[in-house]
């Protein structure tokens, strides 16, 4: 169930970052929520793409809430340490890998750069509690999670995301997920070829 990998659906992530940058420009506090982050490759991918596009100085204003129900109780340690086996890092472009990963103490494992890791905080959280982990998010990412919920649960969870977003904030989900009709009036679809939405 926690299938995930680094640089998954890069198309959506790059489009999101392109639209997000003007929105967060000049803010000294930017909050991002990755809901259903699994072992962390997704929020770390978004963080790396952001760092590449905004520079390390501005990137320090960003704080990620990476959350998951984490039924195995193993994700917190992995996300917090930011240490992954080399096998799981093969999709990362070589120049990005060189720049953001250093060998860890364990042979065959690499650790994500401190500047990225320090902006990531993991919280164990059940989306179906419908209690948000924070507010005023500039971006909420929830990919490959909503498909596991009943249609009425999906509506309630996306409504919770809407309430937790800053005015004009962004929400992304996976390509195959559609915005429920009941909520369509709350979001503007930003592009045709990705499930990228802006809070109205
Ligand atoms: C297929 S993974 C998706 C990981 C990542 N978002 C991605 O797209 O690569 C689905 C994740 O959703 C989490 N999940 C399932 N039900 C959840 C719930 N009710 N609340 C929070 N997370 C949940 C699972 O633990 C799992 O890590």
Question: What is the whole-number distance in angstroms between the Cα of residue 168 and the centre of ligand 1?
Answer: 25
Residue to probe by mutation, ligand 1, list 38, 91, 146, most atoms within 8 Å of CB: 38
Task: Give the dihedral of Cα atoms 183, 185, 191, 192; nearest 10 deg.
Answer: 70
Closest-CA residue, ligand 1 atom 2, reads: 2
Sorted by where each starts, the structural domains of the chain and their CATH numbers stand as 10-81+113-199 (3.40.50.150)
Average pLDDT score over the chain = 97
Q: Is the pTM of this model over 0.85?
A: yes
Share of the chain above pLDDT 90, in %: 97
pLDDT band at 101 (very low <50, low <70, confident <90, very high): very high
Residue 145: DSSP 8-state: S
Question: Using CA positions, which residue lies closest to atom 26 of ligand 1?
Answer: 2
Mean pLDDT, residues 33-41? 98
**Shortest-distance Cα residue to atom 12 of ligand 1:** 36
């Amino acid at each position: 169930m926690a299938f995930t990998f680094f640089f998954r659906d890069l198309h959506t992530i790059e489009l999101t970052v392109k639209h997000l940058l003007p929105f967060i420009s000049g803010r000294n506090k930017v909050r991002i929520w990755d809901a259903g982050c699994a072992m962390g490759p997704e929020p770390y991918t978004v963080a790396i793409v952001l760092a590449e596009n905004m520079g390390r100085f501005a990137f320090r204003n960003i704080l990620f809430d990476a959350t998951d129900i984490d039924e195995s109780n193993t994700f917190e340690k992995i996300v917090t340490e930011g240490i992954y086996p080399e096998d799981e890092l093969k999709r990362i472009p070589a120049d990005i890998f060189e720049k953001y990963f250093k060998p860890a103490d364990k042979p065959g494992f690499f650790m994500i750069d401190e500047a990225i890791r320090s902006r990531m905080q993991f919280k164990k959280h059940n989306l179906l509690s419908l209690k948000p982990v924070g507010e005023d998010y500039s971006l909420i990412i929830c990919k490959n999670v909503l498909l596991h919920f009943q249609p009425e649960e999906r509506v309630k969870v996306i409504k919770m995301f809407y309430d937790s977003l800053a005015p004009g904030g962004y929400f992304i989900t996976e390509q195959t997920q559609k915005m429920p009709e009941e909520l369509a009036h709350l979001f503007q679809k930003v592009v045709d070829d990705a499930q990228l939405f802006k809070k109205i």
